């Protein structure tokens, strides 16, 4: 007779890439298939398979999640230009010019939009981890951002009726060409932003020259993987200038140049800051937030973290930048926004200027705010919203929805949690420098990406945080907030699999959360108990000082730490689970 726990409902497994995938396969073997009799719906979401299937596999993942309701997603690569070229060379049968965006873009936004899910990320409550604060007071780091362009100089409004927004372009021919159209519902916000390519290049010259004059290491942060036609255009222009005119001078001075995605870079700079650096964040809305945070840290530093931090990220519907139309202008001309035949706004653009048209859905915003308040009430959290209402009609809808949801909860007999609305920069500063005992920080999509990576890094490691995507329909997707660990994967390959260094805590926790949810839904007490014991075994392993290299020196008793590789850590968790 099998000793496995029987599970009736299927569990959706979304596979990923690189070192995270090596760990994921071992976790599934150690803690799922050998211990549970559970049907798995496995889908390969690796970068190569997304390309080979021309993105179709992403749609299959969405349908599987909607059908079965509970899944675990592993981290996957978002290919850059070099990696895409390598994959296309490997598959000459593919026509790179005819690829669907889902074939090359991150699948995360499409999946969240497909299931209508929002993200909550919070610390795993390890008992003995402590954050070794870097000395931030007086730190010699400067933030350089553009003064104009982007969402700061956008045209944005709330739709007065349900209808069609069309983005038109009039170039040298004089004939209007439709670039994009989308339906917006009454009360939904939309926004048109552009940036001036000449202004971007002028900023790049000032940025690199300042770094040389002040002899600072250079950091550049954008989100070119997700907003390729906007941030990607800026990155290409800035790095082109660096390569042609500044690289040799920078290297001759012994200075370093670093480019990372803005969320990963923000986490690294805050948690492990360089001694002397110039941090370039061209997007002025994001740049001003991070400038204010850095200036605050210089004065007050980072306090000891004694509170659990949770971040809810508004991503259902794929709204804001992550669901935008973004592309460079093909030639000089005029952009026009037409809503149901009425021209709402027009502006000049030049060839190469990045263009972004984004919107969100009022009902999706309402679902998110309701989820935020429900989570906060259940876990007795204080809520701190971040909105820039003073110059953004786009954000005003969030304020209106918060008020209406609070009223509906009160009328339904559910006391809403205490909450506060502040500017996003103040929200970020409070989260880092003055966190209350048990707080939830709701943020829009891009802010939420940046804030959650900063918070996870300050919690000790991206692998010590959990991530839950929940939809209004009840679909639950659990994932780890970390990436694929490309550098560790290269070492793994170079050593023929002998060097396997990876903290698999977040992936184990995601699997345990998914199993717990399955157990609760089918009233399977044995499965719920097993999932709880798996979480406890993970936390007890770290409590015993058995850790991977990324947590070295971050426990309350560094002298008692035992460093193990990835397999050693999984074995240790399995031993405690058996006990």
Token pair recorded at residue 533: 């014991």
Distance in angstroms (rounded) separating the CA atoms of residues 425 and 226: 22
Does 78 reside within a domain? yes
Q: Which residues, in sequence order, are CB contacts of 571 under 8 Å at separation 6+?
A: 564
At 109, which CATH number? 3.40.718.10
Find out whether 144 and 292 touch, Cβ atoms under 8 Å: no
Does 211 reside within a domain? no
Beta strands in 291-381 (DSSP E): 308-313, 325-328, 333-339, 342-349, 354-359
Residue with tokens 């519902």: 185
Does 490 reside within a domain? yes
Distance in angstroms (rounded) separating the CA atoms of residues 397 and 403: 10
Cα→Cα distances 36→1, 44, 513, 573, Å: 13, 21, 15, 17
Residue with tokens 């981290």: 75
Distance in angstroms (rounded) separating the CA atoms of residues 132 and 128: 12
Q: What angle do CA 239, 241, 243 make, to 5 degrees?
A: 70
**pLDDT value at residue 38:** 97
Q: How many structural domains is the chain composed of? A: 1
Token pair recorded at residue 297: 């840290």
**pLDDT value at residue 229:** 94
Does 431 reside within a domain? no
Does 369 reside within a domain? no
Residue with tokens 């790179």: 96
Token pair recorded at residue 98: 């005819």
**pLDDT value at residue 317:** 54
**pLDDT value at residue 561:** 95
Does 124 reside within a domain? yes
| Per-position DSSP letters for 87-106, written without gaps between them | HHHH-TTS-GGG--HHHHS-
Q: For 356-444, where are the alpha helices, taking DSSP H only?
A: 362-379, 393-411, 424-433
Token pair recorded at residue 4: 């496995």
Q: Which residues, in sequence order, are CB contacts of 489 under 8 Å at separation 6+?
A: 18, 19, 22
Does 173 reside within a domain? no
Distance in angstroms (rounded) separating the CA atoms of residues 575 and 570: 9
Token pair recorded at residue 412: 């339904």
Q: Which domain holds residue 52?
A: 5-131+467-578
**pLDDT value at residue 307:** 62
pLDDT values of the chain reduced to their tens digit, one per residue, 579 residues: 468 999 999 999 999 999 999 999 999 999 999 999 999 999 999 999 999 999 999 999 999 999 999 999 999 998 888 888 999 999 999 988 899 989 998 898 789 889 988 888 888 888 888 877 789 999 999 999 999 888 888 999 999 999 999 999 999 999 999 999 999 999 999 999 999 999 999 999 999 999 999 999 999 999 998 899 999 999 999 999 999 999 999 999 999 999 999 998 998 898 889 999 999 999 999 999 999 999 999 998 988 766 667 888 887 555 688 788 999 999 999 999 999 989 999 999 999 999 999 999 888 899 889 889 988 888 888 999 998 876 678 888 888 999 999 888 888 877 778 899 999 999 999 988 887 778 889 998 888 889 888 887 777 677 888 889 988 888 999 998 888 998 899 999 999 999 999 999 999 999 999 999 999 999 999 999 999 999 999 999 999 999 999 899 889 899 999 999 999 999 999 999 998
**pLDDT value at residue 364:** 87
Q: Work out the number of other CB atoms within 10 angstroms of the CB of residue 76.
A: 24
Does 140 reside within a domain? no
Q: Which residues, in sequence order, are CB contacts of 246 under 8 Å at separation 6+?
A: 208, 209, 212
Token pair recorded at residue 406: 């609070």
Q: Which residues, in sequence order, are CB contacts of 471 under 8 Å at separation 6+?
A: 115, 116, 117, 118, 316
């Amino acid at each position: 007779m099998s000793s496995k726990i029987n599970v009736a409902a299927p569990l959706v497994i979304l596979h990923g890439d690189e070192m995270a995938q090596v760990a994921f396969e071992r976790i599934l073997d150690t803690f799922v298939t050998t211990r549970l009799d559970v049907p798995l719906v496995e889908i390969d979401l690796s970068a190569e398979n997304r390309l080979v299937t021309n993105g179709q596999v992403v749609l299959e993942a969405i349908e599987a999640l909607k059908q079965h309701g509970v899944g675990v997603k592993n981290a996957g690569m978002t290919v850059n230009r070099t990696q895409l070229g390598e994959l296309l060379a490997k598959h000459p049968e593919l026509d790179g010019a005819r690829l669907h965006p889902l074939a090359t873009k991150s699948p995360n936004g499409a999946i969240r939009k497909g299931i209508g899910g929002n993200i909550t990320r919070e610390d795993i409550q390890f008992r003995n981890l402590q954050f070794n604060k870097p000395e931030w007071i007086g730190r010699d780091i400067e933030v350089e951002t553009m003064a104009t362009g982007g969402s700061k100089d956008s045209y944005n409004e709330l739709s007065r009726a349900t209808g069609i927004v069309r983005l038109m372009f009039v170039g040298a021919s004089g004939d209007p060409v439709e670039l994009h159209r989308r339906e917006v519902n009454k009360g939904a916000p939309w926004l048109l932003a552009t940036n001036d390519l000449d202004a971007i290049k002028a900023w790049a010259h000032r940025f690199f020259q300042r770094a040389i004059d002040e002899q600072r290491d250079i950091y550049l942060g954008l989100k070119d993987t997700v907003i390729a036609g906007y941030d990607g255009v800026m990155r290409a222009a800035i790095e082109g200038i660096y390569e042609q005119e500044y690289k040799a001078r920078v290297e001759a001075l012994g200075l370093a140049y670093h480019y990372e995605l803005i969320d990963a870079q923000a986490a690294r700079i805050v948690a492990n800051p360089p001694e002397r650096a110039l941090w370039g964040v061209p997007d002025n809305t994001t740049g001003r937030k991070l400038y204010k945070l850095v200036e605050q840290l210089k004065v007050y530093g980072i306090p000891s973290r004694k509170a659990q931090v949770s971040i809810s990220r508004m991503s259902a519907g794929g709204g804001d930048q992550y669901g935008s139309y973004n592309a460079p202008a093909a030639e000089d001309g005029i952009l026009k926004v037409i809503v149901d035949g009425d021209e709402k706004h027009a502006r000049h653009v030049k060839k190469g200027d990045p263009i972004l048209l984004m919107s969100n859905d009022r009902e999706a915003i309402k679902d998110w705010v309701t989820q935020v308040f429900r989570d906060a009430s259940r876990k007795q959290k204080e809520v701190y919203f971040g909105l820039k209402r003073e110059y953004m009609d786009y954000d005003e809808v969030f304020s209106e929805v918060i008020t209406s949801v609070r009223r509906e909860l009160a009328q339904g007999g559910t006391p809403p949690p205490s909450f506060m609305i502040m500017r996003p920069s103040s929200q970020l500063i409070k989260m880092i420098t003055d966190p209350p005992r048990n707080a939830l920080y709701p943020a829009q999509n891009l802010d939420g990406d940046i804030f959650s990576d900063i918070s996870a890094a300050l919690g000790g490691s991206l692998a010590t945080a959990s991530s839950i995507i929940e939809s209004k329909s009840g679909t639950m997707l659990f994932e780890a907030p970390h990436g694929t660990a490309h550098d560790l994967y290269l070492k793994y390959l170079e050593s023929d699999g002998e060097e396997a260094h990876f903290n698999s805590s977040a992936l184990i926790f995601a699997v345990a959360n998914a199993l717990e949810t399955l157990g609760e839904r089918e009233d399977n007490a044995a499965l719920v108990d097993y999932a709880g014991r798996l979480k406890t075994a993970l936390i007890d392993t770290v409590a015993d000082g058995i850790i991977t290299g990324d947590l070295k020196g971050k426990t309350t008793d560094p002298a008692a730490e035992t460093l193990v590789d990835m397999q050693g850590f999984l074995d240790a968790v399995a031993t405690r689970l058996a006990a």
